[in-house]
């Protein structure tokens, strides 16, 4: 099959979270299965020079957008059988950050148009156009309704929801300006939801199939609690809604061959993990001790991730228990402030690292003992999978993909790979963490938990086969 994917992020080029990891791994796996795959993303100025210097300029294209003729360029990069195309338009994408700009609606609407221009002008003739999250969801509106893209209309459309919370909601005026489509699309409710233009809803409406990144999240988003006010609409599409669990890129996240860590290790010989732990402690300015449980969290600091839960739990834990905590993350100011204060209150016990640092993240996954993930909702979650691959034990809330991948440890059977709270049942994160710390002190159990995690199958091959099956069912 010929597949075109479009997204706002793709590892290793431009990453803000798990969306990038998926785009970095799934296309490679589909290519391995014999499919022809092209990935189109914006050429952000933050893409590292080592990649950009390898990009090949292919075309200069023109587009009429918001009443003006605009010229953009298309660069190509080949890797692992995947054809990556980068759309360069500096006015929109020469920025320090991927998202969070006041003109995001306009930037991604422009990108949406360029994707279809590229597909059409390069005669890619895809069987499937697969878009991801709100940034590219409205491509499907243009694909199905804009007469300029007649020649590629027969392509089947797939949308993956990586996070329902972000929907790309804008005013009717913004919609009309950015998409230059008849007002009836809004007035008849094809692209409108709850009094706004809604990019994600538009994509859901026009998609032939909609996927989410775990089976549990697929069911959850049909409910009021997790549905982000789109659940009644999603229920109408229920027949076409499928949950396919994410994997991780086993080459990128490989404790036995990871250039970002200090000492490699695998499930047969785990000594290297301790060396990485000491390297973290040294870097973080914490006492270099092998016996103290080292807790970590690597995350966007947003409400979703349950930082409020840590606000409740961490001060007491750090006061009463001999533990260390290292945070790597950035996001909402209120949470950054909380962690900075924690750093001041618990010197020598806590290390707070505000920012995005891929290499340090790998070292933390490799050397920490326990990974905290008290998410209120989690579409799939990759951090718990990466942790388990490196023998770091997750303590997580039982929701979404966490429920599908983290299994509570059973001391009789020595089965399970982590510890779970269940906020929906008032089972607290604190208790799950206490259970975890109790087993930390019992080395035979601790070895079993770590190894159960490391032996799990987190590969993309199973999920990629499910996507391929889904595409096949459409054509």
**Burial, 255: exposed, middle or buried (Cβ in 10 Å; 0-12, 13-18, 19+)?**
buried
CA proximity to 303, closest of 375, 234, 366, 369 = 375
Q: Which is nearer to ligand ADP, 128 or 314 (CB)?
A: 314
Q: For residues 17 and 441, give the distance between their C-alpha atoms in angstroms, rounded to a whole number.
A: 33
Q: How far is the CB of 379 from ligand ADP (least distance, A)?
A: 7
Q: Which is nearer to ligand ADP, 21 or 29 (CB)?
A: 21
Stretch that binds ligand ADP, among 11-19, 387-395, 416-424, 427-435 (CB under 6 A): 11-19
Should residue 18 be labelled a site residue for ligand ADP when binding is judged by CB under 6 A? yes
CA proximity to 87, closest of 132, 43, 37 = 43
Should residue 25 be labelled a site residue for ligand ADP when binding is judged by CB under 6 A? no
Should residue 361 be labelled a site residue for ligand ADP when binding is judged by CB under 6 A? yes
Q: Which is nearer to ligand ADP, 115 or 385 (CB)?
A: 385
Cβ-based neighbour number of residue 67 at 10 Å: 7
Should residue 472 be labelled a site residue for ligand ADP when binding is judged by CB under 6 A? no
Should residue 177 be labelled a site residue for ligand ADP when binding is judged by CB under 6 A? no
Q: How far is the CB of 382 from ligand ADP (least distance, A)?
A: 4
For residues 273 to 302, the per-residue mask of contacts with ligand ADP, x marking binding by CB under 6 A and - elsewhere, is -------------------------xxx--
Going by the DSSP 8-state scheme, the letter that residue 399 receives in this structure is: S
Q: For residues 28 and 377, give the distance between their C-alpha atoms in angstroms, rounded to a whole number.
A: 28
Q: Which is nearer to ligand ADP, 126 or 329 (CB)?
A: 329
The answer to whether the beta carbons of residues 76 and 55 sit under 8 Å apart is: yes
Name the residue number minimizing CB distance to ligand ADP: 18
Per-residue b or e along 4-37, where b marks 16 or more CB atoms closer than 10 Å to that residue's CB? bbbbbbbbbbbbebbbbbbbbbbbbbbbeeebbb
For 336, half-sphere exposure in the C-beta direction (CA atoms, 13 angstrom radius) is 9
- Token digits of residue 443: 């080395």
Stretch that binds ligand ADP, among 69-77, 132-140, 191-199, 328-336 (CB under 6 A): 328-336
Should residue 404 be labelled a site residue for ligand ADP when binding is judged by CB under 6 A? no
Helix/strand/coil for 357: coil
The answer to whether the beta carbons of residues 210 and 242 sit under 8 Å apart is: yes
Report the residue from 5, 7, 8, 17 that binds ligand ADP according to the rule CB under 6 A.
17
Cis peptide before 19 (omega within 30 of 0): no
Should residue 356 be labelled a site residue for ligand ADP when binding is judged by CB under 6 A? yes
Should residue 260 be labelled a site residue for ligand ADP when binding is judged by CB under 6 A? no
**Which amino acids are annotated as binding site, given as ranges?**
15
The answer to whether the beta carbons of residues 160 and 171 sit under 8 Å apart is: no
Report the residue from 41, 191, 382, 468 that binds ligand ADP according to the rule CB under 6 A.
382
**Which amino acids are annotated as binding site for ADP-alpha-D-glucose, given as ranges?**
15
Binders in 185-214 for ligand ADP, by CB under 6 A: none
Stretch that binds ligand ADP, among 118-126, 145-153, 377-385, 412-420 (CB under 6 A): 377-385
Q: Which residue has tokens 């491509």? A: 139
* Pair type for strands 196-198 and 169-170: antiparallel
Should residue 133 be labelled a site residue for ligand ADP when binding is judged by CB under 6 A? no
Should residue 383 be labelled a site residue for ligand ADP when binding is judged by CB under 6 A? yes
Task: List residues near ligand ADP by CB under 6 A.
Answer: 17-19, 21, 298-300, 328-330, 356-358, 361, 380-383, 386
């Amino acid at each position: 099959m010929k597949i075109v994917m479009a997204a706002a992020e793709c590892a290793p080029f431009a990453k803000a979270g798990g969306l990038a990891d998926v785009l970095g791994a799934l296309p490679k796996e589909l290519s391995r299965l014999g499919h022809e795959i092209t990935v189109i993303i914006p050429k952000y100025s933050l893409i590292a020079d080592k990649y950009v210097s390898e990009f090949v300029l292919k075309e200069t294209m023109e587009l009429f957008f918001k009443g003006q003729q605009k010229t953009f360029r298309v660069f190509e990069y080949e890797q692992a059988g995947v054809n990556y195309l980068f759309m360069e338009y500096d006015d929109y994408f020469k920025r320090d950050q991927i998202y969070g700009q006041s003109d995001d609606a306009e930037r991604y609407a422009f990108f949406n148009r360029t994707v279809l221009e590229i597909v059409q002008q390069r005669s890619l003739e895809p069987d499937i156009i697969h878009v991801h999250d709100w940034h590219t969801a409205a491509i499907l509106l243009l694909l199905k309704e804009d007469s300029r893209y007649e020649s590629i209309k027969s392509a089947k459309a797939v949308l993956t929801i990586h996070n329902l919370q972000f929907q790309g909601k804008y005013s009717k005026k913004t919609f009309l300006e950015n998409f230059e489509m008849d007002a009836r699309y809004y007035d008849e409710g094809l692209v409108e939801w709850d009094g706004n233009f809604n990019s994600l809803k538009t994509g859901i409406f026009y998609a032939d199939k909609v996927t989410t990144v775990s089976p549990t999240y697929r069911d959850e988003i049909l409910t009021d609690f997790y549905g982000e006010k789109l659940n009644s609409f999603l229920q109408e599409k229920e027949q076409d809604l499928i949950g396919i669990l994410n994997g991780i890129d086993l080459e990128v996240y490989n404790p036995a061959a990871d250039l970002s860590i200090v000492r490699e290790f695998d499930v047969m010989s785990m000594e290297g993990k301790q060396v990485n732990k000491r390297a973290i402690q040294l870097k973080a300015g914490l006492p270099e001790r092998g016996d103290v449980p080292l807790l970590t969290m690597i995350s966007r600091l947003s409400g979703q991730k349950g930082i409020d839960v840590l606000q409740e739990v961490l001060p007491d834990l750090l006061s009463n228990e001999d533990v260390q905590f290292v945070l790597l993350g950035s996001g909402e100011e209120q949470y950054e402030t909380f962690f900075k204060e924690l750093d001041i209150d618990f010197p020598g016990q806590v290390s707070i690292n505000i920012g995005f640092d891929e290499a340090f993240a790998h070292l933390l996954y490799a050397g920490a003992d326990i990974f905290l993930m008290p998410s209120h909702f989690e579409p799939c979650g990759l951090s718990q999978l990466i942790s388990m691959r490196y023998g770091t034990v997750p303590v997580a809330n039982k929701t979404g993909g966490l429920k599908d991948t983290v299994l509570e440890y059973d001391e009789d059977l020595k089965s399970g790979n982590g510890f779970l709270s269940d906020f929906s049942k008032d089972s607290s994160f604190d208790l799950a963490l206490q259970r975890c710390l109790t087993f930390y002190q019992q080395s035979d159990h601790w070895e079993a938990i770590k190894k159960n995690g490391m032996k799990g199958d987190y590969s993309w091959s199973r999920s990629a086969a499910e996507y391929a099956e889904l595409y096949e069912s459409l054509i």
